Structure formats: C-alpha cells, structure tokens
Structure 1
C-alpha cells in the first residue's frame, strides 16, 4: 500500500490513490472515459505528483486534476503535508462494516474533512475495486518462506461478531514481507479451505516455497504437499 525506501519517497498505490480517483469522479459526476462526460464542461486534466510524510517515511502520491481547477481533494488537502495511514484506515472502516454515514463522520473527526455521503460511497466503491485488484495480483514464482494462519477480528454483517480472517504472508527472495492474500471465513473452515487458498496462490504464479509455516490443523500438511 504505502512503501518507502530510505532516502527517496515511495509511491502510494491501492486505496489511497483509488480514494482520490473516487473524489474527482464524485466532483465531476462521471467516471474516467465515461461518455457521459463529453461536453460536460469540466473533465479530468491529468494529475500532479505530491510528496507527503507518512508513518513509513515520505511517499509520493498522484493527485488528479480537473481542467477548470475547481477540484479540491478532501482526503489529501491541497496544502496537507502529512498523511497518517489513510489507506489502512479506509480498509479498516470498510472491513468493519461501517455505514457510509459513519465513515463520513470518522473522516470529519480525524481529518476535519467534510465529505458528502455520496462522495464516501464513490470513494469506498473505488477502494473495494482496488482491494479486489490487490487480492488477485500476480505473485512471485518462488518464496523462501510462506506463513499461513488465521486471526480473529470483529466484523459487522448485520451484527458485530468475531470472524476469522485467513492470512497468507511470505518473505520474498529480497527479504521483504509480502501479504499474499486475506480471506474472510465463518469459523468452520478446515484443511479443505486452505487447499482452496493454496490453489489460488499457485494459480497466481507461485511455483514453489522452500518452507511453509503453519499450525497443527489436521490435514493441513497434506494440503500443502498436494499443492
């Protein structure tokens, strides 16, 4: 999501950039390349690079522009120079099932940004699109280590309840941590579920892992060997 190497800014990808795209879509009233925008009087006009400080160091983000200069982003304001984990915050709020109104109120409280409910709806739609792209992105051919496990978090699906989130995390050949994917469950999953997860990881390009670290769930080692 946000990454930074020492001495140079990283680039912001995924939900943060998608949120800005959602904002300008809401501002203009039409999506990129939408025929409805022809002759509308205002349209996208490229983007500009902006470096902001984050919890992981300086990050360069791409801020979309419009032709008449009336677009003023709320998530990353024009003169804002610090960004405090907006991508994690938006994913967290969406994953916990907050309503559009609750997300709007949270942004207002944390950032002082008065974002309309329609704008929040557009932004979260873009975020979900970015999450889907991330979840299905191609993976490396080989990982020295892959860790698979489940963590329990509170999610709201009608009511708040503890739900397991199944996690596959790897260490790359460059020694960097990479989250391969996240899958929500209902708690009744077993080794067969992990078989599907591992098959998905394989289908996304992983050919081998030198070590897979897991718990003692019955049938899990066999599922790993099978894939």
Structure 2
C-alpha cells in the first residue's frame, strides 16, 4: 500500500501495520471486480467509498487471495463420508462483453451437496460449464471420485440430461433417485 507522509492516516478498515484486511473490504473489492472494472478503477472506487487511497497491488492481492482459496477449496480431498449426495444444475443467462458488444450466453452452474452420516448438508463442489451434457456430468463425477468420494449409496437429482448415464458409469453400485421440484 502506498504511504502518505505527513498526514495522520487512521483508517477504520486498515490500521497501521495491519496485514489482514476486514471481510467487508474484501467483499467490496470482489463486488467491484465482478463488474469487470480494472484494478485502477477499483482502487478509485475504494478511495471514494472509504476515504483513503489504496494501491492497485492491494486490490490485486485481495483478488488473488480469494482466487487461491477458491482453487484450494475446489481441489481439496473429500472424505468418503457422504452416503447421500444431491446434484443439481441450473442454467443462467450471463452477460458477456465481446468486441465491445454485449452478448448473453447460457452457462450452467452445477451444485453438489453431500449429506454426511450425521445428516448435515455440506456444499462439496461447484462447477460452471457452457453446456449441460452427459460429458460434463461424467467429468464432474470422475472429479469427485478422484478427490476421494469413492462410493456413495444414494444420489438424488432431478433427472438432468446425461446424469443417469454418468452415474451408472462412475458410481454403478449407488442408488439414483430422480425427483422433480425442490429437495431442500
């Protein structure tokens, strides 16, 4: 962070010699980053929001830290203690910028929730893809198996396209149940 000499800089967000930044600050940085602003633009917005200057390296470090944590979470080994998993995919229209023109494309968010032996639900995986297909489901289930989810007794889903075949190939001993509607 840039140092401003000759002024008393007592910030309520980042105190002198502080190395850990408050969650709200990080959430604000990530929120601004999600709008596709540059690090300079984010730094300017943070300056107007909080009343102190922040260098682009601080912005970059905040974003990189969260990306690293997300990658670690997504690649973490799974304990094989989820007798039940619930799988769902939801298609969203996402606005993208291509050649300075806005365009909407479909993206599928895949969510995998495990229910442990104590009955507690845990989010165990999130995936984003351009399509919902048997190939994508196969990749997801193989990834779960490689991360340690070697067996599961029951798989609950709403009969998504290609999922049945993927389950039969990756988890042939599991019982698959297909429900329509919400399964909270």
Place the TM-score, normalised by the shorter chain, in its bin: 0.5 to 0.7
Q: Shift in Å at residue 130 of structure 1?
A: 1.5
Shift of 1:115: 2.6
Moved over 3 A (4+): 83-87, 89-99, 101-114, 153-162
Q: Match for residue 99 of structure 1?
A: 38
TM-score under structure 1 length normalisation: 0.54
- Distance change >3 Å, CA 219–CA 84, structure 1 → 2: same
1:165 aligns to 2:115 (yes or no): no
> Is it true that 1:206 corresponds to 2:149 in the alignment?
yes
Q: TM-score, normalised by structure 2?
A: 0.65
3-state secondary structure, aligned to 2:18: coil
- Consecutive unaligned residues of structure 2, counting only runs of 5 or more, are 3-14, 171-184
Question: CA-atom RMSD, angstroms?
Answer: 3.5
Q: How many residues align?
A: 155
Structure 1 CA distance for aligned equivalents of residues 140 and 68 of structure 2: 20
> For 1:175-201, what per-residue CA distance to the aligned partner results, in whole angstroms no more than 9, with x for missing partners?
333222222212x33011100100000
Give structure 1 stretches of 5+ with no counterpart: 1-25, 28-68, 77-82
